[in-house]
Amino acid sequence: MMMNLKSAKTGGILVLCAVIAILPAFLSNAFQYEIAILIGFNAIVCIGLNLLIGYGGQISLGHGAFVGLGAYGSAILTMNQGWDPLLSMVIAAIFTGILAFVIARPILKLKGHYLAMATLGMGIIISIVINTEDQLTGGPDGMYVDGLSFMATQIYWYWLVGALLVFSVWASLNLIHSPIGRALRAVHGSEVAAEVVGVDTTQYKVLIFVVSAVFASIVGSFGVYYSNFVTPDIAGFFHSIELVVMVVFGGMASTFGAVIGAAILTTLPQFLTFLHDYEHLVFGLILMLTMIFLPKGLVPSIAGLLKKGDK
Amino acid sequence: MTLLKVNNLSIEFGGVRAIDDLSFTINSGTIHSIIGPNGAGKTTLFNLITGVYTPTSGTILYDDEGVTGFKSYELAARGMSRTFQNLQIFFNMTAIENVMVGAHLHLNRGFLASFFGLPSIKAGDRHCRETCLELLDFVGLKKYADIDTESMPYGALKRLEIARALASKPKILLLDEPAAGLNPAESREIDKVIKKVAERGITVVLVEHDMKMVMEISDHILVLDYGRKLTEGTALEVRNNPDVIAAYLGG
Ligand SMILES: Nc1ncnc2c1ncn2[C@@H]1O[C@H](COP(=O)(O)OP(=O)(O)OP(=O)(O)O)[C@@H](O)[C@H]1O
Ligand SMILES: [Mg+2]
């Protein structure tokens, strides 16, 4: 069983590597590469968010704001301050991490609906600040940002994002199967039971909130270097909801579920462009149907069926 | 030697004193039972001792240290653990993982080492798994090791809580109705497990309604009624106390 666990982990990573390696054979134009790259970005945010939601059992309806902080942090430091893009990315991630740390304690004392409301409020505040500080951020019009000079073509980006994705999956699985990961799942399972065996539950909730925020921030930074442009939508409410739907749809407490959720829900809207105005509606519908028919999400539900089939 | 000393402990819930000016001591290396009718305050007392509740007044001294108001995880670090009357299992994990959470304090918990899956973390986990398997074996659950707790029977989950608590290497272990809801055969199993735990030198505090078990294994019994001490003493003393008989038969 221990071996099983290990092989499931390495097996999953190998499959992911194979998919990333083979996919270019099927991508024929820049638009398709664009979608593949977007899937990678979203998947990485979702892997971080899944640590918080799926494993730690804490909700966040404000993670778009952390992506936004990474994006704008990088944009402002490179364009307004003339800093090196990679340094800017690191500084933005540290800033986001510190901010997440400061607000985590009071927020994570809350439970259920209250936590949802608090993270929602936090996201809205950050979003408003980005919108109104137009001297710094360009306001609603957004901001142009230089790219990374060494990323000559879109293909480079494809491989970079692919590598980052594999790394994120690997690190997330490492974390989950470590004492920290078990403590985190214990917080989800029973806080009081975790505490009486020595788990400082608040500390772990804060830790994973910060980690997921830093994941989001780094993706925001890379995203802005990739697209050379950023608007406040990135930090908005709808983006936050989109991310949560990806995690829930793909499967809570499943790292590969987060990847698959991000892949499907990033691709789907491209096929639904004819109902563009109703995109939000479609997302809402998907969330509802998932909660009703696949409460554990896509990947865990399928895994459960396969397990039953085994017996 | 005194391990735990409770002085004038009280807690109020909306004006009701669930524990009312209670004082007693527990010596190390003993099996110390706490009995009393439903609603007497036994679970509340456990919650106070283990830091789940903060007392309204009174003090708790553990291992010569004032620990009133300490958090549960701070007490766990000092060697105190417990089980719950209403199961508190990590249902999102397998049996062995539940026990491994119990060993939390004794493992390397460095963030970067975990994130990068360093060999030290893997080696620590392998070793931890071995010792936790032994604990599962100790409570008779070895065959459930890699089973999802969701599909384990109730009686097994009761014992799983004991194994998890033991994994934290406690000096004192508080068991809240470990035999509740079990059939007689399962009760006898629990009975044996408790004795074996005590033989390891762990001080056991036991809340249990199964009087046969209590009378047989306790070194000392404290009787609670309406949050107050009715009496305390050896099994023989308590059994023949007229107040106890009145509280149980008249309550
Ligand atoms: N959190 C709480 N809020 C309000 N009242 C509480 C709380 N916890 C316990 N009580 C009250 O304290 C009293 C003692 O309850 P407790 O659960 O400690 O009894 P017990 O001796 O463990 O009973 P049982 O044998 O049924 O388990 C009860 O009247 C209960 O309603
Ligand atoms: Mg009780």
- The 3-class secondary structure across A178-196, one letter per residue, is CHHHHHHHHHHHCHHHHHH
The count of C-alpha atoms lying within 13 angstroms of the C-alpha of B46, restricted to the half-sphere facing its C-beta, is 26
Q: What 3-state DSSP class applies to B70?
A: coil
* A302 located within any domain: no
Closest ligand to C-alpha of residue B224 is: 1
Distance, CA of A216 to CA of A213 (rounded, Å): 5
The closest residue, in CA terms, to atom 8 on ligand 1 is B44
Q: Is residue B66 part of a domain?
A: yes
Q: Tell me the residue type at A6.
A: K
Examine the domain organization and report whether B205 and B229 are in the same domain: yes
pLDDT (0 to 100) of residue A3: 47
Residue ranges making up the domain that contains B235: 1-79+170-251
Please, which pLDDT band fits residue A149 given cuts at 50, 70 and 90? Answer: confident
Percent of chain B at pLDDT above 90?
A: 85
Tokens of residue A164, six digits: 């980052």
The pair phi, psi for residue B69, each rounded to 5°, is 80, 0
Q: What is the pLDDT of residues A92-118, one digit of tens each?
A: 999 999 999 999 888 887 777 888 888
Band (A2; pLDDT cuts 50, 70, 90)? very low
**Max CA separation in chain B (angstroms):** 65
A201 chain-B contacts, CB cut-off 8 A: 73
pLDDT at B236 over 60: yes
Residue that is last in its domain, among B150, B169, B188: B169
The helix (run of H) or strand (run of E) holding residue A178 is none
- Supply φ then ψ for residue A113, to 5 degrees: -60, -35
Residue A261 and residue A46 in contact, taking contact as beta carbons nearer than 8 Å: yes
C-beta separation of B101 from B93 below 8 A: yes
Domain count of the fold of chain B: 2
Shortest distance between the Cα of B193 and any Cα of chain A, in A, equals: 19
Domain-located, residue B33: yes
In angstroms, the CA A72 to CA A198 distance is: 39
- What are the two backbone dihedrals, phi and then psi, of residue A179, each rounded to the nearest 5 degrees? -55, -35
Number of compact structural domains in chain A: 1
Cα–Cα distance, A63 to B127 (Å, whole number): 37
| Cβ-based contacts of B76 with chain A (< 8 Å) | 195-198
Is B22 near ligand 1, meaning CB less than 6 Å away?
A: no
Same domain, B177 and B75: yes
Q: What is the mean pLDDT of residues A113-128?
A: 89
Whether A294 is covered by a domain: the verdict is no
Separate counts of helices (H) and strands (E) for chain A? 14, 2
Query: Do B207 and B247 fall into the same domain?
Result: yes
pLDDT for the residue A246: 93
A67 lies in a domain? Answer: yes
**pLDDT value of position B83:** 97
> Can you give the length of chain B in residues?
251
Which of A37-46, A294-303, B234-243: highest mean pLDDT? A37-46
CATH number for the domain spanning B178: value is: 3.40.50.300
Among B157, B148, B168, B176, which residue's Cα sits nearest to residue B47?
B176
Both B45 and B149 in one domain: the answer is no
Q: Which of the four pLDDT bands, split at 50, 70 and 90, describes residue A310?
A: low
Which of B101, B135, B169 represents a domain boundary (last residue)?
A: B169
- The verdict on residue B85 lying in a domain is no
Give yes or no for residue B160 having a pLDDT over 70: yes
For position B249, what pLDDT does the model report? 64
| CB contact (8 A) between residue B111 and residue A174 | no
Q: How far is the CA of B48 from the centre of ligand 2 (A)?
A: 13
Ligand 1 contact via B36 beta carbon (within 6 Å): yes
Q: Are residues B184 and B67 in the same domain?
A: yes
Cβ of B251 closer than 6 Å to ligand 1, yes or no, is no
Backbone φ and ψ of B164, nearest 5°: -60, -45
- Pick among B62, B80, B82, B92 to test the A interface (most A CBs inside 10 A): B92
> Cα separation of A237 and B244, whole Å?
62
Residues B75 and B177 in one domain: yes
Report how far apart, in Å, the C-alpha atoms of A229 and of each of A103, A124, A145, A147, A222 are.
28, 21, 6, 9, 11
Q: Which two tokens stand for residue B21?
A: 């000016």
Q: Which of A4, A50, A196 should be substituted to probe chain B, the one whose Cβ sees the most B Cβ atoms within 10 Å?
A: A196
Instruction: Please tell me the predicted confidence (pLDDT) of residue B10.
Output: 96
What pLDDT does residue A5 have? Answer: 56
Same domain, B56 and B179: yes
Q: A307: which chain B residues are within 8 Å (Cβ-Cβ)?
A: none
**pLDDT per residue over B74-83, tens digit each?**
999 999 999 9
pLDDT at residue B212, rounded to an integer: 85
CA A227/CA A143 separation, integer angstroms: 11
Residue A5 domain-assigned (yes or no)? no
pLDDT at A311: 43
Position B182 in a domain:
yes
Which structural domain, as residue segments, surrounds residue A136?
Answer: 38-269
Q: Which of A170, A175, A253 sits opposite B92 (nearest CB)?
A: A253
Amino acid found at B110: G
ipTM: 0.93
What does the pLDDT average to over B102-115? 95
